[in-house]
Chain A
Amino acid sequence: DTEVTQTPKHLVMGMTNKKSLKCEQHMGHRAMYWYKQKAKKPPELMFVYSYEKLSINESVPSRFSPECPNSSLLNLHLHALQPEDSALYLCASSQERTSGRLHNEQFFGPGTRLTVL
């Protein structure tokens, strides 16, 4: 299985709602990522998990809260979002580094299209 899946595909929420995005992979990857992507722009890194521990937080507002319950799952909890948070949210995974091999490509899911009203 060489696929990263994300649910839901689309999400519309109000600024007072609480929702969660889910990501799953069964490739045995121990690094998982959340990205935010605006239309026609490159993905912006939000969070990186390594062996289920948060290793990189790119100064993301606290209204975004990541969670990695196990090695296959990654969640992004959303609360009190702003309209400017509307974007495509991408999950990715890669092999963890071993012996200094840092070149492993990231495999991306199809994304969740989020609209904040």
Chain B
Amino acid sequence: AQSVAQPEDQVNVAEGNPLTVKCTYSVSGNPYLFWYVQYPNRGLQFLLKYITGDNLVKGSYGFEAEFNKSQTSFHLKKPSALVSDSALYFCAVRETDSWGKFQFGAGTQVVVTP
């Protein structure tokens, strides 16, 4: 079985400060990990994914995520947050044998204040 947890319902950060959105996962095999962002009344936009290789993954809009196997985490980071980064962020995991099925986290609302 696969599962993913986003421990924070909301993250508040001032513009220009670093942004971190936490995600931990549980899978029985190798994880494929994804981050998506959702703006109000819009679909989900793909940000980045980890499949294999370098633990630091770079994605769209200046976001990056660090895969940590020992801590089973895949935290999303941005060095300098923008007001326009305010949105709902979802972490998702897919196991190697669970084609078609993403397991989404509960989501973290990011609020960036000017």
Contacts and interface: CB of A to CB of B under 8 A. Distances in A.
Interface size class of B (residues with CB under 8 A): 20 to 34
Nearest to B30: A103
Most buried by A among B46, B94, B102, B105: B102
Nearest to A107: B46
Contact of A105 (B42, B49, B100, B106): B49
Given A102-B32, A103-B32, A105-B49, A43 B44 contact: yes
B46 A106 contact: yes
Given A40-B88, A102-B99, A113 B41 contact: yes
B43 A109 contact: yes
A109 B42 CA distance: 8
26 contacts: A6-B43, A40-B107, A42-B104, A43-B44, A45-B101, A45-B102, A48-B101, A55-B100, A56-B100, A90-B43, A102-B32, A102-B96, A102-B97, A102-B98, A102-B99, A103-B49, A103-B94, A105-B46, A105-B49, A106-B44, A106-B46, A106-B102, A108-B44, A108-B45, A111-B41, A111-B42
